[in-house]
Amino acid sequence: MTPEAMAALHARCFTTPRPWSAAEIAGFLADPLCFALLRPAGFLIGRVVADEAELLTVAVAPDARRQGVGADLVADFLRNAALHDARTAFLEVSAENPAAIALYARAGFTPAGRRRGYYRQPDGQKIDALVLSRPIYATEGGGHPTEI
């Protein structure tokens, strides 16, 4: 999946936070600390710095949601993070995205904080970001995620 295709999918998935451009995605993919996990109907971009893994974004095509694609990507993110010796995973999610919050909760993420007014909707309204985290267990590194 090219950065352009990833950006097109991201734009189908997000208004808040704003969708990422192909150039922004290409910038993350060029960073040696970042990785992308790909599926035909979605992708995830994460990074590992020292012993922390950050889930930067996950996008699943609207017609492929609730079919396990997002859950598989998050599970692969945790495996990949474990393989890179990360011990903690974290992410930010819009406080007004209950589907994503539920996905992350099923993967073991719990609230770690709140960033008030972190995101801005296209109409200018501010939305809080929830910071979620969870430990990463060495046993999660047993698989081989699809990494580029």
In a domain, 28, yes or no: yes
137 classed as catalytic: no
Q: What percent of the chain has pLDDT over 90?
A: 74
Q: Reply yes or no on whether 118 is catalytic.
A: no
User: pLDDT at position 141, please?
Assistant: 66
Q: Give 2-13 pLDDT, tens digit per residue.
A: 999 999 999 998
Q: Whole-prediction pTM value?
A: 0.88
pLDDT of residue 132: 97
Considering the candidates 24, 52, 54, 92, report the single residue annotated as catalytic: 92
Is residue 62 included in any domain, yes or no? yes
For 110, the domain range is: 3-142
Tell me which of 4, 52, 96, 104 is the catalytic residue. Answer: 104
DSSP assignment, residue 16? S
Tens digits of per-residue pLDDT, 44-58? Answer: 999 999 999 999 999
Q: Is residue 148, in this structure, part of any structural domain at all?
A: no
Residue 10 lies in a domain: yes
Indicate the number of domains in the chain: 1
* CATH number of the structural domain spanning residue 58: 3.40.630.30
Of 140, 145, 96, residue with least CA distance to 119: 96
β strands within the chain, DSSP E: 34-39, 42-49, 52-60, 88-94, 110-120, 126-135
User: Using one digit for the tens of pLDDT, what is the confidence trace for 84-130?
Assistant: 999 999 999 999 999 999 999 999 999 999 999 998 888 889 999 99
Share of the chain above pLDDT 70, in %: 95
